[in-house]
Chains A and B, each alone.
Chain A
Amino acid sequence: MSDDTKGGVVLATLGIISVGVLTVLARRSSLRPAVQSIPTGTRAARRLNKSSALLSLSVLADSSVEHYRGMFFNKAMFLPVIASAANLASSLHGAHDETPQGHRLRHAIAAISGAIGVIGGGFHLYNVTKREGGFSWQNLFYSAPLGAPYALILAGIMGTAAEHVRDSSEGRLRLFGLPAGPTLAALTSGGLAGTVGEAALLHFRGAFHDPFMFLPVTVPPVAAGLVAKAGAERTPVWGSFTRAWLWLTAILGFAGAGFHIYGVGRNMGGWRNWSQNVLAGPPIPAPPSFTGLALAGLAALDLLEAK
């Protein structure tokens, strides 16, 4: 099988996986009326599992394509593909699990995935600084993207958070030993900020040539601010507004993927030249990270409003 065909098979597989995952997630979505019997902790945990699933899906697709572009020149480049796949499966399992108890295997997979994300961050930073020019705009644009392992770290954090929150008893929801609501709000806000940074960097690289490219650097920062604010207050004052903004951010994540699909088609040769254009970008799996983080934000609000 030629490399071209191999690449096509991989991309098609990723596409099928994505559609499958999204279908599964949507089926038991929180548009359903809340079932009162499910404890807050569990509800928030399932949201966090979904968040982790979406982030993992994004990392799986993105790291597969990008590391394929990098020819897997370092065998460690297979790790995020494997880790994100495992964490995806694990998180989907957790998203449907109503048990008010932390799952040790899921927790381990999430923790290890997060650790691999940290290691990846180190590799990527090295990759940026070792190229001629060192830590420069040019290398931030074109060497290994620093924001990509960040997404895996976040997937790991949300995955472990899911098990911790699920584990704690009602009334004393804890996360990593701290009050769950504010902690998750801080993590989500930081996650959003970092992802905004990555989008800003790459849209800056694209010279904001399309006005819609300003959306991911305007909408999610507001979400980050609102979530941080909610986390800092004893009781979230703007709860409904924050939820609405988080849903907007979630939709933006998918809209972004749609824009990126359009963007790939806009390159020379369009989709017929997919073997160049899917790799050249813009990266279709990247924007749904915002959706994943928005879900984590909603989980944080669940926890904050639970008292």
Chain B
Amino acid sequence: MPDIVPSQPRGRDHRAPDVLRPGAWVPMRQYPEDEEVDFAIVGTGAGGGTLAAKLAEYGFSVVAFDAGPWFRPLEEFASDELEQEKLIWTDNRIVDGANPVELGHNNSGKAVGGSTVHFMMVSLRFRPEWFKSRSQLGYAVDWPVDWREMWRYYDEVEDALKISGPVNYPWGPPRRRYPYRAHEVNAAGLVLAQGCEKLGIKWSPTPLATISAPRGLSPPCVYRGFCGFGCSTNAKQSALVVWIPRALRAGAEIRDLAMVGRIETNRYGRVTGVHYQREREWRFQKARNVVVAGYAIESPRLLLNSANAQFPDGLANSNGVVGKYFLVQSNDAVWGVMDKEIRWYKGPPSMAVTEHWNYTDDGKDFFGGYAYMSQGPLAIEWARSLASVRGLWGKALKDAMSQYIYQAGLKICGEVLPREANRVELADQKDEYGLPIAKVTFSYCENDQKLRHHAVREMRRAMEAVNAKDIWDSESTAHLGGTCRMGDDPGTSVVNADGRSWEVPNLWVCDGSLMPTVGGVNPSLTIQAMSCRIADRIKAMAARGELNAPAALRSRTAHAVGAEI
């Protein structure tokens, strides 16, 4: 039986998989381990994949590592929920707190392309005021960046991914038109639309990172509905299909099935490279700079696991902030049965959205916001909802499942406040590599609960307004953030506005752990935009000689900058 789960690394022998052509390869530059590369990036998802491409395009030498396999979606992605668990980080982690978080499929990918291989492609921008939540809205903390700067980078990412979005988006400041048009909204999305119209609030087709028209070798979406289990057509514009190929063309090396276990430092307090395991051998890659981009659990875990005599509490952690202020988003949902066939398994799960409660501050007894979206769980996911969450089994379960094609649902992406008590730490248990695993402690605070309560009430109103029957609600969380947060104050943040750690000048973070707040929208677009910004900042710093970069590159980029002036 052919192997549809790669067990051997594919990024080697000077070639890499060409995921857009079955069985094909592209040439890949490789860097010797005993020569310093400019940047060793740990993780190839929304943060690391994007950064690898941009830095390579700017002329830096880049090696990016991923613990996961390098999949070929066209040949290896089955339309099967169980089989596609292979995209997920199913290595154990401990969860604790009053509201222990569901991990695994919920928010943790393990593949070249990271969690973008299984994400639901919702691509929304932050509300501008959220970048200054503290100063402008009176809660949480400020980001150390200005929204106007981020707006440019959102433009860049939306164009890079050819986001398919509506001609007019109802919320936020004026913005460029989405590069591709929105998809036709499925019946599940139209239920959301009807509900909003009845409640007198706006709705929109969701801007999605899957194409509505051909793009290069990628065909447009066929609406198969297995988005959360890997796109087998390459319509989904994941990092695997967008940033990684760009990185390869620009001369980056990607090492798949390469688990980075530890970052090495020297006596000057600088990082010198990464220890990683590949094909059961521990190896070491020298690097002038190391970027941690493993998302908000693995990134702090790596920093903590890299503790040594000089950094007894882990790297960049003398202020004890690494791993703290762990964030998720609340993912409460309301479900109902309609009197028309919905067949929500067709198309991306969230084809319609309302951000009304992200942009309206009246009538809220809580800080922060939430968006809610239509849903489309497949067979196993829905059965688990009805059984494991709602408690149905036997005939009652069968009866409820028989209504599947009539189901509709609304689910929030709800803001959660950053709190020190929510954190990622090292557990005693060790993984297959002998490294301590992560322990994730999370509890909602009163504000989070009020938001959830409000959201469920509003979604119930919407479902009642469209005459849904058998309405019930469920709770969950989604996404991660906060554990290596950026800030202006070295006392309360891990990295500065450039993703550069305060404590170790050649150690960077570039993923969702940077986010000091999560807002009420899915984070992928913001993470990618931040990566593009960090790449630009690194380029500028290199030109000014503020970076651990080779003299040749410094003068080269300095020349380029000089020429522009």
Contacts and interface: CB of A to CB of B under 8 A. Distances in A.
Contacts of A131: 190
B190 A137 contact: no
B197 to A, nearest CB: 6
Contacts of B193: 132-133
A212 interface: no
Interface stretch (A22-30, A79-87, A199-207, A219-227): A199-207
A206 B180 CA distance: 7
Contacts of A133: 193
A276 B185 contact: no
Main secondary structure of the interface of B (DSSP, over half): loop
Contact of B184 (A141, A204, A207, A267): A141
Contact of A209 (B182, B194, B214, B235): B214
B148 to A, nearest CB: 27
A268 interface: yes
Nearest to A142: B184
Contact of B219 (A137, A142, A266): A266
A132 B197 contact: yes
Nearest to A266: B214
Contact of A267 (B179, B215, B220): B220
Contacts of A142: 184-185
B212 interface: yes
Contacts of A267: 214, 219-220, 222
B214 A138 contact: no
A268 B166 CA distance: 23
Contacts of B94: none
B435 interface: no
A40 to B, nearest CB: 46
Nearest to A208: B213
A210 interface: yes
A207 B168 contact: no
A280 B214 CA distance: 13
A276 B182 contact: no
Contact of B167 (A137, A263, A276): A137
The contact size tier of chain A is 20 to 34
Interface in A255-282: 263, 266-269, 273, 276, 280
B181 A268 contact: no
Interface in B177-197: 179-182, 184-185, 190, 193-194, 197
Interface in A207-257: 207, 209-210
Contact of A204 (B181, B185, B190, B220): B181
Contact of B182 (A138, A210, A266, A268): A138
A263 B185 CA distance: 22
Interface in B133-191: 162, 166-168, 179-182, 184-185, 190
27 contacts: A131-B190, A132-B194, A132-B203, A133-B193, A137-B168, A138-B185, A141-B181, A141-B184, A205-B181, A205-B212, A206-B212, A206-B213, A207-B179, A207-B180, A207-B181, A207-B213, A209-B214, A263-B214, A266-B214, A267-B219, A267-B220, A267-B222, A268-B220, A268-B233, A269-B222, A273-B222, A280-B222
Given A131-B190, A138-B205, A280-B220, 15 more contacts: A132-B197, A132-B203, A138-B166, A141-B181, A141-B184, A142-B185, A205-B213, A207-B213, A210-B214, A263-B214, A267-B219, A267-B222, A268-B219, A268-B222, A268-B233
Interface of B: 162, 166-168, 179-182, 184-185, 190, 193-194, 197, 203, 205, 212-215, 219-220, 222, 233, 235
Interface of A: 131-133, 137-138, 141-142, 204-207, 209-210, 263, 266-269, 273, 276, 280
